[in-house]
Amino acid sequence: MVNRRRRSGFRILLAIYCGFVFFFLVAPLFVVFPISFSAARYLTFPPPGFSWQWYLSYINDPAWIQATITSIKVALGTTVLATLLGTMVAFSLVRGSYPGRSWVDRLVAAPIIVPNIIIAVALYGVFARFQLVGAWYGVMLGHTVYAIPFVVLVVGAGLRTFDQNQELAAMGLGASRLEAVWHVTLPQIRPAIISAAFLAFITSFDELIIALFTSGTNATLPKKMFENIIFEIDPTIAAVSVLQILLVGIVVTLAARFGVGMNPIR
């Protein structure tokens, strides 16, 4: 009886603590969202009135639109490359048995462990030699290096929970290894692959440090937001932040709907 009360009290304290942490994380949204609809000419809270002027300012500003298009283009390219390469690396690490496999595993995880600024400086040094600095596909390659570890983690987890006997059974019925992987394994781990792809998109779309070093004069949306804060602060940044939050929220919702919630067998 005493243990039950202790467990109940612990759960209540844990719920209160988690609620406090969640409120601490989302509290800034209660400031950003109202400011984005402010009728004032400067960042003021609470806003003196309601207006769509800062959303219209974003839509009518070619620099903001170009930065948004660049970010989406880079994020889509990163999603394709990181998902493709990360899935192959995950297969190699989970299924493979070769000398140096543990070192490959550590090397793949390095972008998560190493600070972004170090990765950005290293990429700048390499990209400058190949004249990739300032090109959108240079930023895409940099973001791919940063996003691959997340894909490997998610897809690798899906492979570890997959029953390999199904693949062996397909091979026993005459399928080649490639056919068994394509028709049996990949459909079974499709939720993990889709979730990893959405995660790669979010990782690229929100990344700033690598973009600062590799994008040159072609600003991505996070870089444009950073420059806006440094040089001129107006409520347009709040409107862009709200749109970015909504886009990330949509992507996360799609990942939950079409990734984890998807039936792998049709």
The pLDDT, as a whole number, for residue 163 is 72
The pLDDT, as a whole number, for residue 1 is 56
The pLDDT, as a whole number, for residue 83 is 92
Please choose, from the candidates 142, 143, 145, 139, the residue with its C-alpha nearest in 3D space to the C-alpha of residue 67. Answer: 139
Q: pLDDT confidence of 29, banded at 50, 70, 90?
A: confident
The pLDDT, as a whole number, for residue 58 is 86
The pLDDT, as a whole number, for residue 173 is 74
Residue 132's Cβ-side half-sphere holds a number of Cα atoms within 13 Å equal to 17
- Name, in order, each residue with C-beta under 8 angstroms of 53's C-beta and a sequence gap of 6 or more: 39
Average pLDDT over residues 91-100: 79
Q: Cα separation of 156 and 161, whole Å?
A: 9
Average pLDDT, the chain: 81
- Residue 224 sits at φ, ψ, to 5 deg, of -60, -40
Contacts 24+ apart (CB under 8 A), 34-42: 35/235, 35/238, 36/235, 36/238, 36/239, 36/241, 36/242, 38/235, 38/238, 40/235, 41/234, 42/233, 42/234, 42/235
Q: Is the pLDDT of residue 43 over 80?
A: no
Q: pLDDT confidence of 261, banded at 50, 70, 90?
A: very low
Q: Cα separation of 51 and 72, whole Å?
A: 27
- Name, in order, each residue with C-beta under 8 angstroms of 257's C-beta and a sequence gap of 6 or more: none
Please choose, from the candidates 124, 146, 145, the residue with its C-alpha nearest in 3D space to the C-alpha of residue 135. Answer: 124
- Name, in order, each residue with C-beta under 8 angstroms of 95's C-beta and a sequence gap of 6 or more: 159
Which of 5-9, 102-106, 181-185, 190-194 shows the lowest mean pLDDT across its residues? 5-9
Q: Is the pLDDT of residue 2 over 70?
A: no
- Name, in order, each residue with C-beta under 8 angstroms of 226's C-beta and a sequence gap of 6 or more: 208, 212
The pLDDT, as a whole number, for residue 265 is 42
The pLDDT, as a whole number, for residue 235 is 77
| Helix, strand, coil percentages in the chain from 3-state DSSP, rounded to 5 | 75, 0, 20
Q: Cα separation of 193 and 235, whole Å?
A: 38
| Amino acid identity, position 229 | I
Please choose, from the candidates 59, 149, 85, 77, the residue with its C-alpha nearest in 3D space to the C-alpha of residue 113. Answer: 149
Average pLDDT over residues 9-31: 82
Q: Is the pLDDT of residue 127 over 70?
A: yes
Average pLDDT over residues 184-202: 85
pTM summary value = 0.81
Tens-digit pLDDT profile for residues 62-83: 888 888 888 999 999 999 999 9
Q: Cα separation of 82 and 147, whole Å?
A: 6
Bigger pLDDT: 153 vs 259: 153
